[in-house]
Amino acid sequence: MTAELIFIFLTAAIINNFVFKYFLGICPFLGVSRRVDMAVGMGFAVTFVMTVAGVLTWIVYDLVLTRIGLEFLQYITFILIIAGAVQLVEMYIRKFFPSLYESFGIFLPMITTNCAILGACLFIQKFEYGFVQTLVFSIGAGLGFALAITIMAGIREELDFADVPKPFRGPGITLLTAAILAMAFSGFLIKR
């Protein structure tokens, strides 16, 4: 059981990293990865929302929707839950971490439409995880996102001082960096 949970965690966080393997959550990955402190904040906000949303959607889907044959409502309920969870997180951060709230700006409400969150909720149903597995998977996937965005921000901070060829400046070098990072992460794939 413990070994299985560790496997789920590592798979979600590193091997099947949401950003590098599934290309989910690219918008905040590119948008908020200019400074490391903001990237860490965004990463943990996503982790938090993902965990809350994953657990809540699991409860609603497995304990309510499947019992009364309403599986087709999963998208609308998931989106409702994610939107509600993001609202909560936003209020919480605004109350207790005002400076973090300021630096997030528009990106915090945008977690609502972050495909990584919806993706995680749908993966949980697809893999038919139990409650504990759902919890571990959500945290793992969120931390994987946090890891990805933090690495990216670290590289981009250094890139500010690099002499980038003119045609690559701006989004070009960012996407190239993301591509090389994704290739590095593909090294975790296990070949059988």
Select 49 or 146, whichever has its Cβ closest to another protein. 49
Q: If binding is defined by CB under 8 A, does position 5 make contact with another protein?
A: no
d(CA 136, CA 51): 8
DSSP state, 191? P
d(CA 115, CA 46): 11
d(CA 129, CA 113): 24
Rounded to the nearest whole angstrom, what is the least distance from the CB of residue 85 to another protein in the complex? 9
Contacts of another protein in 51-80 (CB under 8 A)? 60, 64-65, 67-70, 73, 76-77, 80
Rounded to the nearest whole angstrom, what is the least distance from the CB of residue 68 to another protein in the complex? 5
With CA atoms as reference, report the closest residue to 45 among 150, 180, 165: 150
Q: If binding is defined by CB under 8 A, does position 81 make contact with another protein?
A: yes
Place of tokens 């890139």: 159
Rounded to the nearest whole angstrom, what is the least distance from the CB of residue 82 to another protein in the complex? 11
Q: If binding is defined by CB under 8 A, does position 34 make contact with another protein?
A: no
Length of the chain, in residues: 192
Binding site for another protein (CB under 8 A): 60, 64-65, 67-70, 73, 76-77, 80-81, 84, 87-88, 91-92, 94-95, 98, 105-106
